[in-house]
Amino acid sequence: MEIQAKKKFGQNFISDENLINKIIATLGNNQDQLIIEIGPGTGALTKKLVEKFSKVIAIEIDSDMEPILKNKIQNDNFIFFLSDVLEVDFEELIKSYRTSPQQKVSIISNMPYYITSEILFKTFKLHSYLEKAVFMMQKEVAVRVCANKGENNYNNLSIAAEFFADKKYEFTVSKGMFRPIPKVDSAIISLTFKNEKNDLVKDNEKFIAFVRKLFNNKRKTILNNLSMLTNDKEQANKLLDEVMLNKNLRPEAIGIDDFIKLYNAYSK
């Protein structure tokens, strides 16, 4: 019996074995990993993950998938949670199931498109625990996440991803590979967490919020956006002078290192 995808959960199922193997390969060859899969659906990807890695935790919101997954996958290294991913305490989950503090942890998901940003930012908060995240998302969003300074799609999401990880656009996935067929193509991206820049700011979350506000109006200069944030154009001028940043630049023309310098000057 064919399982019907539910639109309210943003479900689109993949079954092509070559594609599944290609996605899993992006997680690397370290088999002693704790893998957390978000939205396993009918388990086509999950089954392969369980065969390769030492422990796999699957988090699924759709109760109809529970008997399907538990029937299909009965391995001892498979753990199933019926839950809304946005309500899961990932930190507690990792601490409970990781075999040691040194064990690598990676997240993988064919992301429900309607909560892509929420899952991304939830993942960023876990950066110190994670080795890697492999996400399938709408191609348009994937291009945005992986964009670099000066590119049209570069925005606060691009900077957040770069702040926490080495980001990579892996490959495009045609919409024809899914059932039901969505309206747009998807893409696989990988985030390899490096935690190099996190010590450069006082508060990671406040830094990301600061950058987001500076992208509120991409058509305005950094001076105008910063003036709106500070409610004081004179102060904005002084801050930009302090970090020697061209006041006429637009946010998309500014790299992450300059945003870090500007935030540190602003938050003193």
Residues making up the annotated binding site for S-adenosyl-L-methionine are: 12, 14, 39, 60, 84, 110
Q: Are 215 and 156 in contact (CB under 8 A)?
A: yes
Distances (CA, A) of 247 to 33, 153, 239, 242: 46, 21, 10, 11
DSSP secondary structure code for residue 3 in this structure: P
Q: Which residues are annotated as a binding site?
A: 12, 14, 39, 60, 84, 110
The tokens for 29 are 């060859």
Q: Are 110 and 45 in contact (CB under 8 A)?
A: yes
**Rounded Cα gap, residues 108 and 81, in angstroms:** 15
**Rounded Cα gap, residues 261 and 132, in angstroms:** 27
| Cα 165 to chain centroid, rounded | 10
DSSP secondary structure code for residue 164 in this structure: H
Instruction: Name the nearest CA neighbour of 46 among 65, 62, 30, 63.
Output: 65
Q: Are 70 and 43 in contact (CB under 8 A)?
A: no
**Rounded Cα gap, residues 30 and 37, in angstroms:** 16
Distances (CA, A) of 174 to 30, 124, 138, 187: 28, 27, 10, 8
**Rounded Cα gap, residues 4 and 13, in angstroms:** 9
